[in-house]
A = this chain, B = another copy of it.
Amino acid sequence: MKHHVADRMRGISSFYVMELLQRAKELERQGRDIVHMEIGEPDFATPPLVLEAGNRFLSKGEVKYTAAAGLPELRSAVAEYYRTQYGVSLDPRRVFITPGASGAFLLAFAASLNPGERVLMADPCYPCNDNFVRLFDAGTHFVPVGADTAYQLNAELIRRHWRPGCKGALIASPSNPTGTLVCAADLQAAVAAVSALGGCFYSDEIYHGLVYGDPAASALQFSDQVFVINSFSKFFGMTGWRVGWLVVPEDFVDAVEKLAQNIFIATPTHSQYAALASFDPENMAELNRRRDEFAARRDFLYDSLLRLGFKIACKPHGAFYIYADCSAFCDDSFEFAKSLLETEGVAVTPGKDFGAHRANYHIRFAYTASIDRMAAALTRLERFICR
């Protein structure tokens, strides 16, 4: 009795970087020193106040299910955060606490996409987004983007690529892998364009807060009919805790509540109580210090890569990635990444993990390592490209 996996699995891809990660771990077991610039996870520990809140909650021992939509206090705290950060008034009923941003994408797409429908996304973009769409037997219409639009979709591209069967468009600002932002005016125009086309707007805002200049705009500033995905993982430094959130249009509240009841039961309780401490002013001050450290790393890495001959068409203003053009050194960035790891012990992510458009000429560097560690990596990288 051998079974066939479901058809949708043929289109769902693994990440190429996993091969590199596995090899990096092997090399580490052999005693090699590896600098990890492939990992999309901040290297900071959980902020102390959040950790304390988690421990305080655990000390009671009563780790029971919360309501499926999340702890009411946390939903309210998130709504209040939109008021103070973005000047947006938001009914907490529209806020769903989820197991990471992953859970938020799952709810948003399950509740809105029919099989065969399509979502517009930029190429390059974060690969899971397309795979979430495929999970529900829908598809992605990739729009190749470049430096002229800061590697982002905009209203004009959305209108030009919209086809019958399109259900919506997704914009991630700041973007993974490029770290670029959509400015407020462009985001507003994109939201309006999707609205005029009768589509759903999915705004991936998981890197909000990690912005090195004017803060990012939220799609909620321009419409209450958008899906906004966010998370406590990146700016708030709570990756392994698995807490995120989804804001939905009022008309989706009942559907998403039913879905959450059925597919999660609830988000981890101790993680939700810990996340509550995130909005404490003392914690926010600590997070802003960390953001400043990321900004310094960005500057260091950006300058160093340019000096070495990488091309970076758009200086990234957010997240913790630089998407560098390595065409001066190779025409297959995956092979480049594999060889760099073997020869010099520096791990990076190949462009093909993020799409097809000029992917072979790009490498994503994550500055989730300290400046000292990155300096070591850059010395090795220089030796590698001058070999």
CB-CB under 8 A from A15, the residues of chain B are: 261
Does A175 touch B at the CB level, under 8 Å? no
Q: Which of B18, B102, B114, B267 contacts A265 (CB 8 A)?
A: B102
Q: For the side of the interface on A, what is the size category?
A: 35 or more
Q: Which of B7, B61, B242 contacts A51 (CB 8 A)?
A: B61
Does A5 touch B at the CB level, under 8 Å? yes
Contact A58 B61 (CB under 8 A): no
CB closest residue in chain B, given A264:
B102
CB closest residue in chain B, given A137:
B115
How many angstroms from the CA of A18 to the CA of B261 in the assembled complex?
10
CB-CB under 8 A from A70, the residues of chain B are: none
Contacts A61-B45, A136-B136, A262-B131; is A6 near B249 (CB within 8 Å)? Answer: no
Contact B8 A110 (CB under 8 A): yes
CB-CB under 8 A from A66, the residues of chain B are: 240
Contact B6 A135 (CB under 8 A): no
In the assembled complex, the CB of A164 is this many whole angstroms from the nearest CB of chain B, namely 16
When all copies of this chain in the complex are counted, the total is 2
CB-CB under 8 A from A58, the residues of chain B are: 51, 54-55, 58
In the assembled complex, the CB of A24 is this many whole angstroms from the nearest CB of chain B, namely 13
CB-CB under 8 A from A6, the residues of chain B are: 110-114, 136
Which of A73-81, A140-148, A250-258, A373-381 makes up part of the contact surface? A250-258
Contact B41 A63 (CB under 8 A): no
In the assembled complex, 11 residue pairs joining A and B whose CB atoms fall closer than 8 Å, in A order, are A2-B251, A6-B111, A6-B112, A6-B113, A12-B262, A13-B258, A64-B239, A135-B259, A241-B269, A241-B270, A242-B265
Where the two chains meet, the residues of A that have a C-beta atom closer than 8 Å to any C-beta of B are: 1-3, 5-9, 12-15, 18, 41, 45-46, 48, 51, 54-55, 58-66, 99-100, 102, 106, 110-115, 127-128, 131-132, 135-137, 195-196, 198, 200, 223, 225, 238-242, 249, 251-252, 254-255, 257-259, 261-271
